[in-house]
Structure 1
């Protein structure tokens, strides 16, 4: 593969996000460094603390306003991480004490599990995976702790005729504080993503072998690194499509820390059974390309990974940012049709989207909610989108 060409700004950010290896994967454009573009890109990629550490280590010259932004954000993130740690463990213990099957996940966990300095990982909320049958109980407990679902989701969850359909077709529930709180967003999940993308795992598949992990001396039970990797590839790759350097920074740190000790036979078996082994191999190949390590070998893949198109798409999004959409349903659908393993896997995704339209009671309640909302035409549009599958509601 011919070495891709990237801007000087992106080259710096890739080097900031990738663990030091001395490997240069790209040609750099012969253009002057633009610090304002660097500032915009670092915010988009959500790696400001990593970039600030890199700027200091490399003595990179930046305008005072850009350097001030990086410094202040990094200091604020350090305070936030420490505050969120205490909240994360406290709420986890409340759930466990009330016999709710739960474990912390994603950013709040990975900051402590994967990064030598947890303050270097940007995140803004706390996520828990909850056993599907325990969702209702968990909501009552979290309400007692000051976090509630929005009116729309509260409405669906209280409608006995559709609550099971809602849980069967969705995967997450964002909660917000009922009063002023340092934590502005808390999310519970009971699946890895929308079931219609066919990355479905039961609680037992994910949590059948929990291990103790200390978050700054405070023990929590979480899935081992094999499951962490699987969930990361599904979310960062299958849903977010590696659109930001933050996602690749997570993957590289997990692989650097645990690649030599993980059960790759198990990981590859699961990826094949769930129909995303191609995406898995592409993702490991891209990670290896960035740092000069052969991670694709763990997927049993050769030098053909990452494919030129896979890497080109990632770099294009990194360089130019990705257009913001009201809903990413169609984008995710097309991506998974492209990168899932077999035609049977792709057809399963199509069939699952068609099946979603058969949940007529649920769709009717969704339409009714938005038709009766206060904002008129906007809500009618969202109601139509709910039926068409274009709206992630």
Structure 2
């Protein structure tokens, strides 16, 4: 690997290494930081609460305006975490009364399990619901005054509109809002065009620790290829916590079945190389080839520090995602399924420039891509 972290990423990595190793930070790195760039990069890396805690603990010098912003962010995050936990407890009790399965995942669940305080950024409550019960579950949430919102234009969507989109495998989540509370309702772990193969309602059958592991691997690795340092830190915290305690052989066989094994190896490589987190010996004895197929591309993405919601970053993201698939996965199949998913217009996406009849598959796909490119390239 020839590419190296830039000064801003080097400081972020130093924050995480000092946290995990329980040691003082190297404060001399602060002298070489472009601070406006550093904090703009948090849109991708999402380390604000961790930066706030570690900068204060180590007395690291940085501009006062950002010190105020970080402090406020840290306080808001603690309030968010408490409010999400309280809201989930109420919703879980109501769902249990109606015999409807519901599961909080990501967000405050990671914060509670992986960190001793609110050190993880998050602004919504992610809930997993069985697809078999999605309409009944959405109606129940509406009875608590939550409204389904189109993420792109803020318009309210009806449950009937969502029901009409369930045949579209691309749609697997919706946003619901009540006052300042934002729910992300999921009925699938990932887009169907991704090659990962899970049994239906897989997470509901696991204990909490396994739920967290498979969510980490699926979302942070399988969906986002460890491109956000916030998410790599989650994985590092988990691996530090479970260490040798897990029975790894059956877990690894499941990874291979689900086509997530290479993403797991990539995560291990990155926490070992960049966070200095030791791979558990029991795991090293099984995984003798811990490597990465495109480390320079990942590091380049980190260094640029821009989210893939913009056009050119999305192209870089897709390139890394394709290179991160298990050898048994087909790039051709991925591209074909990706195109199929984007051909069918749906009510929860941003409005396309032109919408053709459903049987005009290729034209609808081109319209989707053009709409995406124009909106992400020219709209602020």
TM norm structure 2: 0.80
Looking at structure 2, the residues matched to 208 and 64 of structure 1 have their Cα atoms a distance apart, in angstroms, of: 48
Where 1:196 maps in the other structure, the secondary structure is: coil
Looking at structure 2, the residues matched to 105 and 335 of structure 1 have their Cα atoms a distance apart, in angstroms, of: 25
Looking at structure 1, the residues matched to 58 and 328 of structure 2 have their Cα atoms a distance apart, in angstroms, of: 48
Residue pair 2:11, 2:30 contacting (<8 A) in 1 also? no
Residue pair 1:197, 1:333 contacting (<8 A) in 2 also? no
Where 1:57 maps in the other structure, the secondary structure is: helix
Q: Tell me by how many angstroms 1:333 deviates.
A: 4.8
Over 3 Å counting, the alpha-carbon distance change for 1:11 and 1:176 in structure 2 is: same
Residue pair 1:169, 1:194 contacting (<8 A) in 2 also? yes
Looking at structure 2, the residues matched to 291 and 158 of structure 1 have their Cα atoms a distance apart, in angstroms, of: 45
Over 3 Å counting, the alpha-carbon distance change for 1:150 and 1:49 in structure 2 is: closer
Q: Deviations over 1:38-83 (max 9, x none)?
A: 3333454211111111111221112211111111111121122212
Where 2:184 maps in the other structure, the secondary structure is: strand
The one of 239, 247, 271 equivalent to 1:255 is 239
Looking at structure 2, the residues matched to 324 and 52 of structure 1 have their Cα atoms a distance apart, in angstroms, of: 25
Q: CA RMSD in A?
A: 3.5
Looking at structure 1, the residues matched to 363 and 111 of structure 2 have their Cα atoms a distance apart, in angstroms, of: 36
Structural mapping, 1:190-339, within 5 Å: 190-209=187-206, 211=207, 224-295=208-279, 298=283, 300-302=286-288, 304-307=290-293, 309-310=294-295, 312-322=296-306, 324-325=308-309, 333-339=318-324
Where 2:232 maps in the other structure, the secondary structure is: helix
Structure 2: stretches of 5+ with no match in the other structure: 357-361, 373-380
Over 3 Å counting, the alpha-carbon distance change for 1:6 and 1:200 in structure 2 is: same
Residue pair 1:129, 1:190 contacting (<8 A) in 2 also? yes
Determine whether 1:387 maps to 2:371: no
Looking at structure 2, the residues matched to 340 and 276 of structure 1 have their Cα atoms a distance apart, in angstroms, of: 7
Where 1:301 maps in the other structure, the secondary structure is: coil
Determine whether 1:149 maps to 2:152: no
The one of 162, 186, 202 equivalent to 1:189 is 186
Structural mapping, 1:61-80, within 5 Å: 61-80=61-80
Equivalent residue for 2:359? none
Determine whether 1:340 maps to 2:325: yes
Q: Deviations over 1:110-140 (max 9, x none)?
A: 11111111x1111000011111101111101
**Which structure's relative contact order is higher, taking Cα pairs within 8 Å and 6+ residues apart?**
2
